[in-house]
Structure 1
Amino acid sequence: MRKRLLTGLLCLAVASAAAGHSLAPSRLYAPSGSELIGYTMRAINAYDVPASYSVECYQHELGNPIACSAIPGQFRLRPGSYRNFRFRLDTGGEDGMYLICTVYDPSSDGGAASSIKTRVCAKFGVGVDPETGDPK
Protein backbone atom coordinates (compact mmCIF):
# COMPACT_ATOMS: atom_id res chain seq x y z
CA MET A 1 0.00 0.00 0.00
CA ARG A 2 2.75 2.42 0.96
CA LYS A 3 4.68 1.67 -2.24
CA ARG A 4 1.58 2.43 -4.36
CA LEU A 5 1.04 5.73 -2.57
CA LEU A 6 4.67 6.74 -3.12
CA THR A 7 4.45 5.76 -6.81
CA GLY A 8 1.22 7.76 -7.20
CA LEU A 9 2.74 10.85 -5.60
CA LEU A 10 5.83 10.54 -7.77
CA CYS A 11 3.69 10.32 -10.93
CA LEU A 12 1.75 13.38 -9.83
CA ALA A 13 4.97 15.34 -9.30
CA VAL A 14 6.35 14.30 -12.69
CA ALA A 15 3.10 15.14 -14.45
CA SER A 16 3.03 18.66 -13.03
CA ALA A 17 6.69 19.19 -13.93
CA ALA A 18 6.05 17.93 -17.45
CA ALA A 19 3.80 20.86 -18.30
CA GLY A 20 5.25 22.89 -21.10
CA HIS A 21 4.10 25.02 -23.96
CA SER A 22 2.03 24.42 -27.05
CA LEU A 23 0.92 25.90 -30.37
CA ALA A 24 -2.50 26.10 -31.96
CA PRO A 25 -3.32 25.09 -34.60
CA SER A 26 -0.80 22.28 -34.90
CA ARG A 27 -1.49 21.38 -38.55
CA LEU A 28 -1.98 23.75 -41.50
CA TYR A 29 -2.28 23.37 -45.28
CA ALA A 30 -1.62 25.62 -48.30
CA PRO A 31 -2.21 24.76 -51.97
CA SER A 32 0.65 23.51 -54.14
CA GLY A 33 2.90 26.27 -55.49
CA SER A 34 2.06 28.81 -52.75
CA GLU A 35 4.97 31.26 -52.70
CA LEU A 36 4.10 33.12 -49.52
CA ILE A 37 2.45 31.45 -46.58
CA GLY A 38 1.42 33.10 -43.36
CA TYR A 39 -0.94 32.59 -40.49
CA THR A 40 -1.80 33.76 -37.01
CA MET A 41 -0.93 31.17 -34.38
CA ARG A 42 -1.42 30.97 -30.64
CA ALA A 43 1.45 30.15 -28.28
CA ILE A 44 0.41 28.84 -24.86
CA ASN A 45 2.60 28.80 -21.74
CA ALA A 46 1.63 25.88 -19.49
CA TYR A 47 4.72 26.25 -17.28
CA ASP A 48 4.12 27.50 -13.76
CA VAL A 49 6.74 30.25 -14.26
CA PRO A 50 7.00 33.15 -16.73
CA ALA A 51 8.73 32.06 -19.93
CA SER A 52 10.37 33.78 -22.91
CA TYR A 53 9.88 32.35 -26.40
CA SER A 54 11.29 32.92 -29.87
CA VAL A 55 9.91 31.84 -33.25
CA GLU A 56 11.91 29.67 -35.70
CA CYS A 57 11.02 28.13 -39.08
CA TYR A 58 12.33 24.99 -40.78
CA GLN A 59 11.86 23.20 -44.08
CA HIS A 60 11.25 19.42 -44.10
CA GLU A 61 12.98 18.78 -40.74
CA LEU A 62 14.53 20.57 -37.79
CA GLY A 63 18.01 20.42 -39.34
CA ASN A 64 17.05 22.83 -42.16
CA PRO A 65 16.39 26.31 -40.71
CA ILE A 66 14.95 28.90 -43.07
CA ALA A 67 14.31 32.61 -42.74
CA CYS A 68 10.84 33.70 -41.74
CA SER A 69 9.35 36.81 -40.26
CA ALA A 70 7.25 36.70 -37.12
CA ILE A 71 5.48 39.49 -35.27
CA PRO A 72 6.53 39.43 -32.52
CA GLY A 73 9.62 37.31 -33.10
CA GLN A 74 10.27 37.06 -29.36
CA PHE A 75 7.82 37.37 -26.50
CA ARG A 76 7.34 36.61 -22.83
CA LEU A 77 4.29 34.88 -21.34
CA ARG A 78 3.07 34.71 -17.77
CA PRO A 79 2.21 31.28 -16.32
CA GLY A 80 -0.95 29.86 -17.88
CA SER A 81 -1.26 32.65 -20.45
CA TYR A 82 -1.22 32.73 -24.23
CA ARG A 83 -0.39 35.12 -27.04
CA ASN A 84 -1.17 35.26 -30.73
CA PHE A 85 1.69 35.86 -33.15
CA ARG A 86 1.83 36.14 -36.92
CA PHE A 87 4.39 34.59 -39.21
CA ARG A 88 5.17 34.87 -42.89
CA LEU A 89 7.38 32.56 -44.90
CA ASP A 90 8.60 32.76 -48.50
CA THR A 91 8.59 29.20 -49.88
CA GLY A 92 9.71 30.22 -53.37
CA GLY A 93 6.85 28.07 -54.66
CA GLU A 94 8.52 24.90 -53.34
CA ASP A 95 6.06 22.31 -52.05
CA GLY A 96 6.85 20.37 -48.91
CA MET A 97 6.55 20.33 -45.15
CA TYR A 98 7.40 23.47 -43.21
CA LEU A 99 7.74 23.65 -39.44
CA ILE A 100 6.81 26.77 -37.48
CA CYS A 101 8.26 26.49 -33.97
CA THR A 102 8.29 28.33 -30.68
CA VAL A 103 11.44 27.83 -28.62
CA TYR A 104 11.68 28.14 -24.85
CA ASP A 105 15.20 28.69 -23.53
CA PRO A 106 15.22 28.53 -19.69
CA SER A 107 18.60 30.29 -19.55
CA SER A 108 16.98 33.40 -21.08
CA ASP A 109 14.83 33.67 -17.95
CA GLY A 110 17.69 33.44 -15.48
CA GLY A 111 17.74 29.62 -15.34
CA ALA A 112 20.85 27.49 -15.34
CA ALA A 113 23.05 27.90 -18.41
CA SER A 114 22.92 24.15 -19.01
CA SER A 115 19.12 24.04 -19.15
CA ILE A 116 17.56 22.28 -22.10
CA LYS A 117 15.71 24.28 -24.75
CA THR A 118 12.27 23.00 -25.65
CA ARG A 119 10.86 23.43 -29.13
CA VAL A 120 7.21 22.94 -30.11
CA CYS A 121 6.39 22.96 -33.82
CA ALA A 122 3.30 23.15 -35.99
CA LYS A 123 3.38 21.44 -39.39
CA PHE A 124 2.48 23.52 -42.43
CA GLY A 125 2.03 21.38 -45.53
CA VAL A 126 2.40 23.25 -48.83
CA GLY A 127 0.95 20.97 -51.48
CA VAL A 128 1.31 18.02 -49.10
CA ASP A 129 -0.84 16.59 -46.32
CA PRO A 130 0.51 17.96 -43.00
CA GLU A 131 -0.25 14.65 -41.28
CA THR A 132 1.39 12.23 -43.69
CA GLY A 133 3.57 14.33 -46.01
CA ASP A 134 1.84 12.77 -49.04
CA PRO A 135 1.07 15.02 -52.04
CA LYS A 136 -2.44 16.49 -52.03
Structure 2
Amino acid sequence: MKSNNRFNQYLGIEIEHQDENSCTAVLHIRPELYNSIDGVVHGGVTSTLADVVMGHAAAPHVNGVQQCVTLESKINYLAPARGNKLIAQSRVIKRGGRTIIMQAEVRTDDGELVAVALGTYARVKTTPQ
Protein backbone atom coordinates (compact mmCIF):
# COMPACT_ATOMS: atom_id res chain seq x y z
CA MET A 1 0.00 0.00 0.00
CA LYS A 2 1.33 3.40 -0.91
CA SER A 3 1.89 6.06 1.70
CA ASN A 4 3.32 9.52 1.14
CA ASN A 5 4.71 9.62 4.70
CA ARG A 6 8.40 10.35 4.21
CA PHE A 7 9.34 9.47 7.80
CA ASN A 8 7.82 5.99 7.45
CA GLN A 9 9.65 5.56 4.14
CA TYR A 10 12.92 6.66 5.77
CA LEU A 11 12.49 4.07 8.52
CA GLY A 12 11.63 1.42 5.94
CA ILE A 13 8.13 0.59 7.18
CA GLU A 14 6.25 -1.53 4.65
CA ILE A 15 2.48 -2.01 4.87
CA GLU A 16 1.70 -5.65 4.08
CA HIS A 17 -2.04 -5.71 4.76
CA GLN A 18 -4.65 -3.09 5.50
CA ASP A 19 -8.41 -3.05 5.77
CA GLU A 20 -10.90 -0.99 7.75
CA ASN A 21 -10.33 -2.99 10.93
CA SER A 22 -6.69 -4.07 10.91
CA CYS A 23 -3.23 -3.47 9.50
CA THR A 24 0.04 -5.40 9.35
CA ALA A 25 3.41 -3.76 8.68
CA VAL A 26 7.02 -4.93 8.61
CA LEU A 27 10.20 -3.09 9.46
CA HIS A 28 13.54 -4.61 8.43
CA ILE A 29 15.99 -3.92 11.24
CA ARG A 30 19.27 -2.20 10.41
CA PRO A 31 22.03 -0.83 12.66
CA GLU A 32 20.91 2.80 12.21
CA LEU A 33 17.75 1.91 14.18
CA TYR A 34 19.60 0.59 17.27
CA ASN A 35 19.69 2.39 20.60
CA SER A 36 23.01 2.53 22.48
CA ILE A 37 22.80 -1.22 23.23
CA ASP A 38 24.12 -2.86 20.09
CA GLY A 39 21.49 -5.01 18.39
CA VAL A 40 18.46 -3.53 20.19
CA VAL A 41 16.04 -1.34 18.23
CA HIS A 42 15.36 2.09 19.74
CA GLY A 43 12.00 2.27 21.55
CA GLY A 44 10.97 5.27 19.47
CA VAL A 45 11.19 3.16 16.32
CA THR A 46 9.05 0.44 17.91
CA SER A 47 6.53 3.05 19.03
CA THR A 48 6.42 4.59 15.56
CA LEU A 49 5.78 1.20 13.98
CA ALA A 50 2.85 0.59 16.38
CA ASP A 51 1.47 4.08 15.66
CA VAL A 52 1.68 3.48 11.91
CA VAL A 53 -0.33 0.24 11.94
CA MET A 54 -2.93 1.72 14.28
CA GLY A 55 -3.34 4.84 12.15
CA HIS A 56 -3.58 2.89 8.89
CA ALA A 57 -6.39 0.69 10.23
CA ALA A 58 -8.20 3.52 12.03
CA ALA A 59 -8.69 5.39 8.75
CA PRO A 60 -7.01 3.90 5.65
CA HIS A 61 -4.98 6.31 3.54
CA VAL A 62 -6.56 7.84 0.44
CA ASN A 63 -4.19 8.41 -2.49
CA GLY A 64 -1.26 7.93 -0.09
CA VAL A 65 -2.50 10.60 2.36
CA GLN A 66 -3.41 9.81 5.96
CA GLN A 67 -7.01 10.35 7.01
CA CYS A 68 -6.51 10.48 10.78
CA VAL A 69 -4.15 11.83 13.41
CA THR A 70 -3.03 10.42 16.74
CA LEU A 71 -4.73 12.01 19.73
CA GLU A 72 -2.89 9.90 22.31
CA SER A 73 -0.94 6.69 22.54
CA LYS A 74 0.56 4.43 25.17
CA ILE A 75 3.06 1.64 24.72
CA ASN A 76 4.31 -1.10 27.02
CA TYR A 77 7.73 -2.51 26.13
CA LEU A 78 7.88 -6.20 27.05
CA ALA A 79 11.20 -7.41 25.59
CA PRO A 80 14.16 -6.05 23.62
CA ALA A 81 13.39 -5.66 19.91
CA ARG A 82 16.12 -7.71 18.19
CA GLY A 83 16.51 -9.80 15.06
CA ASN A 84 16.01 -9.22 11.36
CA LYS A 85 12.61 -7.56 11.33
CA LEU A 86 9.73 -6.34 13.44
CA ILE A 87 6.14 -7.18 12.54
CA ALA A 88 3.29 -5.03 13.85
CA GLN A 89 -0.41 -5.85 13.75
CA SER A 90 -3.28 -3.62 14.80
CA ARG A 91 -7.00 -3.92 15.29
CA VAL A 92 -9.89 -1.60 15.99
CA ILE A 93 -11.14 -1.76 19.57
CA LYS A 94 -14.02 0.75 19.15
CA ARG A 95 -15.19 3.27 16.59
CA GLY A 96 -16.95 6.41 17.79
CA GLY A 97 -18.19 9.44 15.86
CA ARG A 98 -14.84 10.96 14.95
CA THR A 99 -12.55 8.95 17.22
CA ILE A 100 -11.25 5.41 16.94
CA ILE A 101 -9.62 3.35 19.72
CA MET A 102 -6.88 1.03 18.46
CA GLN A 103 -4.59 -1.69 19.78
CA ALA A 104 -1.30 -2.95 18.29
CA GLU A 105 1.21 -5.69 18.99
CA VAL A 106 4.82 -5.60 17.80
CA ARG A 107 6.72 -8.89 17.48
CA THR A 108 10.15 -10.02 16.32
CA ASP A 109 10.44 -12.23 13.26
CA ASP A 110 10.62 -15.28 15.56
CA GLY A 111 7.27 -14.31 17.14
CA GLU A 112 8.45 -12.81 20.44
CA LEU A 113 6.08 -10.10 21.68
CA VAL A 114 8.15 -6.96 22.27
CA ALA A 115 5.47 -4.28 22.73
CA VAL A 116 1.74 -3.67 23.11
CA ALA A 117 0.22 -0.27 22.33
CA LEU A 118 -3.14 1.47 22.68
CA GLY A 119 -4.05 4.61 20.79
CA THR A 120 -6.85 7.07 20.15
CA TYR A 121 -7.17 8.50 16.65
CA ALA A 122 -9.32 11.24 15.12
CA ARG A 123 -10.49 11.38 11.54
CA VAL A 124 -9.39 14.53 9.72
CA LYS A 125 -10.31 16.16 6.45
CA THR A 126 -7.33 16.36 4.13
CA THR A 127 -6.83 18.49 1.07
CA PRO A 128 -5.83 16.80 -2.19
CA GLN A 129 -2.11 16.94 -2.92
Which TM-score band applies after superposition, normalised by the shorter structure? Answer: 0.3 to 0.5
Higher relative contact order (CA 8 A, sep 6+): 1
**Higher helix share goes to which structure?**
2
- TM-score norm. by structure 2 comes to 0.34
TM-score by length of 1: 0.33
Which is higher, the Rg of structure 1 or of structure 2?
Answer: 1
